[in-house]
Structures are given as structure tokens and as C-alpha cells.
């Protein structure tokens, strides 16, 4: 049950999702990462689907750091850790919306 670290398909992008807590690296997996630009708001959206592969409830946390097209960090409330309850042997979804239209890349971190 190795943790899947998924990177964006484009070689020139720096977006990624990473589990940064070794104590849960064999307990959760990131199954799918989807991105889109919302046609109404023009904001980038990120959806991460994962799975708790244990028979224990977990209280995870995640945070996202957004960057503009030049690689400069965009300050946002998403930089704060957000709690995420993950039930035993269950899937979980993280849905995040960019703070503004300048956000093109991201780094999403998950820990316990």
C-alpha cells in the first residue's frame, strides 16, 4: 500500500499533491487529481480524491499554496491547515478553489 504522489501531467508545471507525514504514508492513498477552470468565475478548481486504507478513523489536515504564472506565491486563507475527517476504509475528497484568477499552479500538502 504505497502512497501515491501524483504530479501534474504537464512537464513545465509545478503543481502537486504530497503527503508530508510518514506515519500515514502507508495508510492513505491519493487516487485521482482533477483540475478545471470554472467557466462562471474563471477560478481554477482542484479536486483530490483519496482513500483511507485502514480500519481506523483519521483526522487529517491539508493546506494549499497557490502560485501565479511566474512562480510567485499568492497569499490566501488556504495556506492555513484545514481539518479533514476520514472514516475507516472510506474514500475522501478535497475540493479547493483558487483565491483569484492569477493562481495557475499549486502545492497541496496532507498530514495528520
Q: What percent of the chain has pLDDT over 90?
A: 78
Task: Report the DSSP beta bridge partners of residue 82.
Answer: 62
pLDDT digits (tens, 9 = 90+) for 90-102: 999 999 999 999 9
pLDDT digits (tens, 9 = 90+) for 34-70: 999 999 999 999 999 999 999 999 999 999 999 999 9
Task: Report the DSSP beta bridge partners of residue 73.
Answer: 67
pTM: 0.82
pLDDT digits (tens, 9 = 90+) for 63-75: 999 999 999 999 9
Task: For the chain, list the domains and their CATH numbers.
Answer: 16-111 (2.60.40.3230)
Amino acid at each position: 500500500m504505497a502512497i501515491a504522489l501524483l504530479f501534474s501531467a504537464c512537464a513545465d508545471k509545478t503543481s502537486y499533491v504530497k503527503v508530508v507525514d510518514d506515519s500515514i504514508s502507508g495508510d492513505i492513498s491519493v487516487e485521482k487529481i482533477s483540475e478545471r477552470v470554472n467557466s462562471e468565475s474563471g477560478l481554477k478548481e482542484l479536486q483530490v480524491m483519496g482513500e483511507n486504507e485502514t480500519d481506523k478513523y483519521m483526522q487529517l489536515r491539508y493546506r494549499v499554496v497557490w502560485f501565479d504564472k511566474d512562480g510567485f506565491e499568492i497569499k490566501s486563507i488556504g495556506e492555513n491547515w484545514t481539518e479533514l475527517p476520514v472514516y475507516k476504509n472510506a474514500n475522501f475528497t478535497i475540493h479547493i478553489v483558487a483565491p483569484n484568477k492569477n493562481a495557475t499552479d499549486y502545492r497541496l500538502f496532507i498530514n495528520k
